[in-house]
Structure 1
């Protein structure tokens, strides 16, 4: 999945107010850009980090571009644009590249299954053979190839897990897919030290029959490449 435009390298000065980031371009100019990430961005927003940004000014837009990538360690890149996770997963599902879910005809996005319930990212197929899929973007690298989710207490993530458990118990095929958008992560676990409730719910979900997958996406300044399945360790 190539980026629409060539990304520009810059230096991160600071990330603040959740959706704003100040960067310094190679020519010394400083800009305030959109930071498309609602999480804490733990280990991904250190001032002085090498970053890549999409500079694109269009009518009606207040900011001149978007922060896309960050180097979190030498040679290790993360995509901080969290909405990219759903886009690359959608492309992977439609191409049959996410093998445990391959061969299912029909991909619908942003589906609500019951009144008052959460909106899930994907519904694959129809009827009794359909799958509900919820995607979570993972960028928290802990070193040694280990990644974790979430990077802050996630009440929304907890709610999704409770509803996935209920769906699985009712007979609906359900999947939680960790989209790992960090080149240094080779396995994933729940971040019990950050959100122990989420970790316990994830273990309950797997026990209830929710399929828990992690898929690697390799970020580069040229684009994002779906790379393959990673191990998920749910042990506390």
Structure 2
């Protein structure tokens, strides 16, 4: 996934109202940017951090910048939750995820379950449909592991239950955790942050929901899928 335009570097002043942040650009101009991330962004929103913004393509848009990346410990973290679905879809289409290869068609945002949309639906005339739900992972509290979620997520719990229902109905279902950073050695659940989600994860896995986790290679030009990461119990 390539950024369509060069990113602007700046320094974070503050994030507020969940979807807004103030940034001082290198030119000294202070701008308000859109934050496409409803999570807590724990560890990624401290004032003074170096960030990168993408410019809006539409000159009439109210906010002319979107927050894309933040530098943590000399590495980049992607905070835009609108990107992971495309990153994973691109990786599947280019055979970068062996466990999800061999399907004829890939569709995105397909209605299923109880008034939900699956992020990616893989279909093939010779096998069961594969429902893939993608979750963006940015949290890292220790030295090694990425964690999810970074806030209570009732929506995420609902998705786990619906994936389990797909398996029950004879389909294949995959929960895909995409770590938008490259400084982790594995993935685990943040059980202390959302124990209800952790319980739903255990139930879904027992029902046959598959778990995949990959990190990303991130530059200020693009974000592409990296390597598979182990899931730590």
| Short-chain TM bin | over 0.9
CA distance in 1, matches of 2:218, 2:17: 25
* Mapping for residues 97-136 of structure 1, pairs under 5 Å: 97-114=96-113, 116-126=114-124, 128-136=127-135
1:3 aligns with 2:3: yes
- Kept after mapping to 1: 8 A contact 2:119/2:132: yes
Q: How many residues align?
A: 232
1:121 counterpart SS class: strand
1:203 counterpart SS class: helix
1:187 aligns with 2:186: yes
CA distance in 1, matches of 2:108, 2:165: 20
Once the two structures are TM-superposed, the CA of residue 188 in structure 1 deviates from its matched residue by 0.8
Once the two structures are TM-superposed, the CA of residue 93 in structure 1 deviates from its matched residue by 1.1
Once the two structures are TM-superposed, the CA of residue 60 in structure 1 deviates from its matched residue by 2.3
> Who is 2:195 aligned against?
196
CA distance in 1, matches of 2:110, 2:188: 27
Deviates more, 1:55-64 or 1:37-46: 55-64
Cα deviation code 1:187-235 (max 9, x no counterpart): 11111010011111111111111110101112211110211111112x3
The runs of at least 4 consecutive aligned structure 1 residues that moved more than 6 Å come to: none
Once the two structures are TM-superposed, the CA of residue 49 in structure 1 deviates from its matched residue by 0.6
- Kept after mapping to 1: 8 A contact 2:35/2:80: yes
1:53 counterpart SS class: strand
> Who is 1:12 aligned against?
12
Once the two structures are TM-superposed, the CA of residue 169 in structure 1 deviates from its matched residue by 2.1
CA distance in 2, matches of 1:83, 1:205: 25
- Kept after mapping to 1: 8 A contact 2:128/2:170: no
Once the two structures are TM-superposed, the CA of residue 57 in structure 1 deviates from its matched residue by 5.8
Unpaired stretches in structure 2, ≥5 consecutive residues = none
Once the two structures are TM-superposed, the CA of residue 170 in structure 1 deviates from its matched residue by 2.3
Question: So what's the TM-score if we normalise by structure 1?
Answer: 0.94
CA distance in 1, matches of 2:184, 2:45: 17
CA distance in 2, matches of 1:136, 1:10: 27
> CA-atom RMSD, angstroms?
1.4
2:68 counterpart SS class: strand
Deviates more, 1:38-47 or 1:49-58: 49-58
CA distance in 2, matches of 1:113, 1:63: 33
Unpaired stretches in structure 1, ≥5 consecutive residues = none
CA distance in 2, matches of 1:3, 1:113: 30
- Kept after mapping to 2: 8 A contact 1:141/1:182: no
